[in-house]
Amino acid sequence: MRYYDGKRKIITDSYNQITSENDPTAHAEISAIRKACEKINSFQLEDCVIYTSCEPCPICFGAIYWARVKAVYYACTKEDAIEIDFDDQFIY
């Protein structure tokens, strides 16, 4: 996952740390948002774009919304994730 400021510069990246940190909120998107906010010293990421491998889950969409990220681009849909046994449909 990467965030870009208005100059298309990578300002942070991250990865899922749920099992390694024993933290159910340590999704890649959440971790990257935390790091980006710290780096730019703001809780709003209005000039940032997020790129991620899969469609964000509800908790990540919520964080992305509250951080005011300009756009989100993802490679796989939640339906694609179901095909590899990652099904969070019960949350929706």
Catalytic sites, residue numbers? 29
Give the 3-state secondary structure of residue 70: coil
Would you state the structure tokens that stand for residue 50, as one six-digit string? 């997020």
User: Per DSSP, what are the bridge partners of residue 3?
Assistant: 12, 50
Query: In degrees, to the nearest 5, what angle opens at C-alpha 89 toward C-alphas 20 and 70?
Result: 75
